[in-house]
A = this chain, B = another copy of it.
Amino acid sequence: MVTISQIAAEAKVSSALVSRVLNNKSGVSPENREKILAIIKKHNYVPNAIARSLVTQKTATIGVVIGTICDSFFFDFFDGIQDMAETLDYNVVFCSGRNNADIKAKYVDYFAQGRVDGIIAYGSRYQDLFFDILERFPFFVTVEGDLPGKDFNKVLVDNLDGAYRATTYLIEQGYQTIFHFTGDMDYSVSLERLDGFKKAMQDHGLSIDNAIITADFEEELAYKRMKKLIAKNKHPQACFAGADKGAFGIIRALTEAGLSTPGDVAVIGFDGDVPNSRDMVFPRLTTMRQPLFEMGKEAVRLLVRTIETPGIKPITTTFDTELVLGETT
């Protein structure tokens, strides 16, 4: 690949002059500017970003790491990130952990080697390695991820409140027995949603005995758990799933057992994960929606703020969830 010195040599000028032309700076005579531009064009010369970054200490890039890129849940989040990044003049690159904590940590480390100006990391499994790696890097934001006592930029969702409202909504609809299918208990968001559920039940004088079903964020386990409950004839009047995928599993178990929703069992989810083929999905799920687009935007905003304002204190922004009524309650 052709370099700046080769361009300079061919133009019989110093590389400093070429650099000035590249960066549209003054201090170049019109004749030289024209000559240099012609040679640049002739060779399709593009300055090497690596070399440039080394001296400017800037990559103009934000790195995003998520658990897996193969999850439509993130679509709005991605779009929010890119939207704000474009207005703030940053490029965005995404890395996927392929549902593997080690790979995710590897990519956080990859970014933290100075390849980007800032990192956005999504995830709330607080024991995960990637938090440690993140903390060695000066500019980052975690989304959904919190660590007790640690002070960094965070974009959070008020899971406790959301779960409380979801549960309260079910109670107000008149359901008496309500089960909560938790998310993976390794994740702090699962614990928060569980707490919200418990609090709502207690505040309304309802029992939570046997009401907590340990599941995860995937469809399969919730499906199995619900299937077993139905078999034992111990299913509740309503289910609050800690994640939309779990809710879909519950509905599948119901459907297979010949039970209807919300007729026999009401189901509410959590996430606002709108499947890609929205119109083909039946029935539409009632869920607590997270404002993922706004969260993406906010993550970039916080990140760029700390990157460009030396010494500024980190911030936590917490978003509220929104009840989206579907056809399952």
Contact = CB atoms under 8 A, between A and B. Distances in A.
A280 interface: yes
Interface stretch (A70-78, A152-160, A161-169, A207-215): A70-78
Q: How many subunits of this chain does the assembly comprise?
A: 2
A251 B280 CA distance: 9
A172 B162 CA distance: 54
Interface string A72-87: 1001001100100010
Contacts of A53: 50
A49 B115 contact: yes
- Most chain B beta-carbon neighbours within 10 Å: one of A59, A70, A75, A276: A276
A138 B44 CA distance: 12
Contact of A70 (B51, B79, B110, B277): B79
Contact of A275 (B70, B95, B275): B275
Contacts of A277: 219, 248, 275, 277, 281
A279 interface: yes
Given A53-B50, A79-B70, A79-B98, A252 B276 contact: no
Contacts of A279: 219, 248, 252
Nearest to A244: B277
Interface in A240-273: 248, 251-252
A147 interface: no
A86 to B, nearest CB: 8
- Most chain B beta-carbon neighbours within 10 Å: one of A70, A93, A103, A113: A93
A98 B81 CA distance: 11
Given A69-B69, A248-B277, A78 B49 contact: no
Contacts of A281: 277, 280-281
A69 B92 CA distance: 12
Given A72-B72, A277-B248, A110 B82 contact: no
A48 interface: yes
Contacts of A252: 279-280
Nearest to A281: B280
- Most chain B beta-carbon neighbours within 10 Å: one of A53, A78, A103: A53
8 contacts: A44-B136, A50-B114, A94-B94, A219-B279, A252-B279, A275-B277, A275-B280, A277-B281
Interface of A: 1, 44, 46-51, 53-54, 59, 63, 69-72, 75, 78-79, 82, 86, 91-96, 98, 103, 106-107, 109-110, 112-115, 136, 138, 219, 248, 251-252, 275-277, 279-282
Given A46-B113, A70-B72, A281-B281, 4 more contacts: A50-B115, A69-B94, A70-B75, A252-B279
